[in-house]
C-alpha cells in the first residue's frame, strides 16, 4: 500500500488530503519536527521512562555539586545514619554521603560519556573505514579489532591503570576507551560491508561521488541507529569498568566517583559494620543508571523497528489462539512464518 500519489501531471487526479501523508521529517519547520520527535518518544513507554531517568541523573550531575557544601570535609558526626542534617548519613570520617554522591554522579557520568564517545569514535573510524575500503586496509583493521577483542579487557585495564597509578581523569577515560572499542567496530564493519553493496551506494559510485562523501553522507546516516545503541552500551560499560577499577583501588582516590565511594566504604568495613547508607546509594545509582540506558536502547529499537511495536488490541484477540496452534508439518509452518515476515 502506497501513500498518496503526487505524480499529478494527470488531470484526473484528485488533490491529496494532507492527512493522508505520513507525518515525516519533510513537513513543517523545527517546531513540527520537535512535535514529531515528542510523539515518537511517547509511543514507547520504555523510551519515555529511560529518558526521564537519564534526565534526572544529568540534572543531578549539573546542579548537585552546587548543593554539596563540602564533600571531602571531615565532620564531627562519624558514621551517622541518614537524618535531617545528613540526608544520607555520614562516612566513618564524617563526610556527608549525600554531598559525595552529588559530586560522584558528575564525575562518573563524565567518565562514562567521555569514554563512550571516544570508544565509539574509534570504532566508527576503524569499523566503517575497514568495511568500506576493503582489501588490505580492511584486513589490517580487522586484525587489529580481533586482537583487541581477544585480549582480556579487564586485566589489560588493570595493568595500564596500575602503571599510570590512577592518574588523571583523562587517563582513566583514555584507558577505558582504548580497551572497549573493538566489539562495536566489528559490528559496524559487518553492517558497512552490507551497506556498501546497496544499490544507492553503487549509484553514488556511478556518478562519481568521492569516497569520503559516500562514507559520511551515504553510509554513516544509515548506521546511526547501530552507533547510538553501541554508544549507549559503551556508556554503561565505561561506568561499570571505572567502578570496578576504583573498587580495586586502581583509581586516584582524590577523585570522587561512585566506584571510589564503594572503595572507601569497603575499606571502612561499611558492609560488615551495617553502614548501608554509605554503599547502597552509589551502588543503586550504578544499577539504576545502567537500567535507564538499557531502557532507552530497547525503546529506540521499538520505535525505529515497527515490527517490534506492540498492538495491544491485536494481542488480546488472537495471540492466545495462536499459541495453541496445531502442530503443522515443517513446510507449512515455515511458509506461514515466512509470509508473516514478508509482510
Partner 1 sequence: MTALDVRDLTVAYPQAHGRPFRAVERLSFSLRAGRTLALVGESGSGKSSVLKALSRLVRPAEGSILLDGREGVRGREYRRAVQMVFQDPFASLNPSHTVDHHLRRPLLATGRARRGAEADEAVAALLRQVNLTPAADVARKRPHELSGGQRQRVAIARALAPEPAVLLADEPVSMLDVSIRLEILNLLDRLKRERDLALLYVTHDLATARHFSSEIMVMYRGEVVERGPSDEVILDPRHPYTRLLAAAAPRTGASREEVREARRVRLESRARRDAERREVVVGEGCRFRPRCPFAMDSCARRPPEVQVAPPPDGDGGTGHRALCWLYADPAAAAGALPAAGPAAAVPPHRAAP
Partner 2 sequence: MNAPATAPAGPGSPAGPDGPDGRDVVLRARDVRVEYDGERPTRAVRGVSFELRRGEVLGIAGESGCGKSTLAYAVTRMLKAPARMTGGSLSFRTREGEELDLLALDEEGLRTFRWSRLSLVFQSAMNALNPVTTVGRQFADVFRAHRPDMGPEERDRRARELLEMVGIDADRVRSHPHELSGGMRQRVVIAMALALEPDVVIMDEPTTALDVVVQREILDEVERLRAELGFSVVFITHDLGLLLEISDRLAVMYAGEVVEYAPAEQLAGGAAHPYTQGLLRSFPDLAGERRELRGIPGSPPDLRGDLAGCAFADRCEHAFEPCRTTAPRLLDLGRAAGPWSAACHLHDPAHRPPAGAPARPGAPAPSDVPAPSDVPAPSGTPVPAGTPEPAPAAPGGGPTTEGRQP
Q: Binding residues for partner 1, per CB under 8 A?
A: 2-3, 5-9, 21-22, 24-27, 198-200, 202-210, 213, 217-218, 221-222, 224
Q: In the complex, what is the shortest distance from the CB of residue 221 to partner 1, in angstroms, rounded to a whole number?
A: 4
Q: In the bound complex, what is the minimum distance in angstroms from residue 336's beta carbon to partner 2?
A: 6
Residue 80 belongs to what H/E stretch? none
Residue 334 touches partner 2, criterion: CB under 8 A: yes
CB closer to partner 2, 29 vs 306: 306
The whole-angstrom separation of Cα 256 and Cα 68 is: 12
Q: Report residue 69: phi and psi, to 5°.
A: -75, -55
Per the CB < 8 A criterion, the answer to whether 231 and 116 are in contact is: yes
Q: Give the span between the Cα atoms of 251 and 254, in whole angstroms.
A: 9
| Inter-axis angle of helices 224-247 and 169-180, nearest 10 | 130
- What is the closest distance, in whole angstroms, from the C-beta atom of residue 223 to partner 1 in the complex? 10
Partnered with residue 90 across adjacent β-strands are 96
Gap between the Cα atoms of 274 and 259, Å rounded? 19
Q: Which three cell numbers stand for residue 265?
A: 566504604
Please, which residue, 165 or 211, has the CB nearer to partner 1? Answer: 211
How far is 138 from 281, CA to CA, in rounded Å?
Answer: 46
Residue 329 touches partner 2, criterion: CB under 8 A: yes
Q: Looking at residues 258 to 317 of the shown chain, list those that interact with partner 2 (rule: CB under 8 A).
A: 311, 313-315, 317
> Quick check: 85 and 69 in contact, CB under 8 A?
no
Q: Give the nearest distance from C-beta 306 to partner 1 in angstroms.
A: 11
What is the distance in angstroms between the CA of the first residue and the CA of the last residue of the chain? Answer: 11
Q: What does each C-alpha distance from 341 to 170, 237, 307, 319, 338 come to in angstroms?
A: 48, 34, 9, 16, 5
Residue from 45, 165, 198, 318 binding partner 2 (CB under 8 A): 318
Nearer to partner 2, 198 or 318 (CB): 318
Binding to partner 2, residues 8-37 (CB under 8 A): 9-14, 20
Residue 139 or 305: the one with the smaller Cβ distance to partner 2 is 305
What does 317 bind: partner 2, partner 1, none (CB cut-off 5 to 8 Å by kind)? partner 2
150 binds partner 2 (CB under 8 A): no
Non-local (6+) Cβ contacts of 76 within 8 A are 94
Q: How many of the other CB atoms lie within 10 Å of CB of 72?
A: 13
State the binding partner of 84 from partner 1, partner 2, none, CB within 5 to 8 A by kind.
Answer: none
Question: Whole-number minimum distance, CB 263 to partner 1, in Å?
Answer: 45
As measured in angstroms, the least distance from the Cβ of 1 to partner 1 is 9
Q: Which range in 7-15, 204-212, 232-240, 293-301 contacts partner 2 by CB under 8 A?
A: 7-15
Binding site residues, partner 2, CB under 8 A: 1-5, 7, 9-14, 20, 311, 313-315, 317-319, 321-322, 324-332, 334-336, 338-340, 342
Amino acid at each position: 500500500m502506497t501513500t498518496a500519489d503526487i505524480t499529478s501531471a494527470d488531470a484526473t487526479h484528485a488533490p491529496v488530503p494532507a492527512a493522508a501523508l505520513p507525518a515525516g521529517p519533510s513537513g513543517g519547520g523545527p517546531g513540527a519536527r520537535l512535535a514529531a520527535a515528542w510523539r515518537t518518544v511517547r509511543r514507547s513507554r520504555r523510551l519515555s521512562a529511560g529518558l526521564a531517568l537519564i534526565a534526572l541523573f544529568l540534572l543531578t550531575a549539573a546542579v548537585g555539586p552546587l548543593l554539596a557544601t563540602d564533600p571531602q570535609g571531615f565532620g564531627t558526626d562519624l558514621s551517622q545514619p541518614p537524618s535531617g542534617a545528613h540526608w544520607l548519613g555520614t562516612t566513618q570520617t564524617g563526610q556527608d554521603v549525600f554531598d559525595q554522591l552529588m559530586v560522584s554522579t558528575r564525575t562518573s557520568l563524565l567518565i562514562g560519556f567521555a569514554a563512550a564517545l571516544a570508544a565509539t569514535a574509534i570504532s566508527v573510524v576503524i569499523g566503517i573505514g575497514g568495511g568500506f575500503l576493503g582489501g588490505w586496509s580492511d584486513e589490517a583493521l580487522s586484525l587489529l579489532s580481533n586482537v583487541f577483542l581477544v585480549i582480556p579487557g579487564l586485566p589489560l585495564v588493570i595493568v595500564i591503570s596500575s602503571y599510570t597509578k590512577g592518574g588523571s581523569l583523562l587517563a582513566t577515560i583514555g584507558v577505558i576507551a582504548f580497551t572497549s572499542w573493538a566489539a562495536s567496530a566489528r559490528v559496524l564493519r559487518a553492517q558497512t560491508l552490507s551497506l556498501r553493496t546497496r544499490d544507492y551506494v553503487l549509484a553514488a559510485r556511478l556518478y562519481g561521488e568521492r569516497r569520503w562523501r559516500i562514507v559520511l553522507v551515504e553510509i554513516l546516516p544509515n548506521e546511526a541507529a547501530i552507533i547510538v545503541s553501541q554508544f549507549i552500551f559503551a556508556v554503561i560499560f565505561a561506568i561499570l569498568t571505572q567502578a570496578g577499577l576504583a573498587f580495586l583501588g586502581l583509581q586516584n582516590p582524590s577523585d570522587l566517583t561512585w566506584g571510589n565511594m564503594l572503595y572507601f566504604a569497603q575499606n571502612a568495613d561499611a558492609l560488615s559494620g551495617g553502614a548501608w547508607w554509605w554503599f547502597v546509594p552509589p551502588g543503586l545509582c550504578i544499577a539504576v543508571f545502567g537500567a535507564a540506558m538499557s531502557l532507552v536502547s530497547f525503546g529506540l529499537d521499538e520505535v525505529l523497528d515497527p515490527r517490534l511495536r506492540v498492538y495491544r488490541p491485536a494481542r488480546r484477540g488472537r495471540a492466545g489462539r495462536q499459541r495453541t496452534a496445531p502442530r503443522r508439518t515443517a513446510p507449512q509452518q515455515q511458509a506461514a512464518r515466512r509470509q508473516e515476515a514478508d509482510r
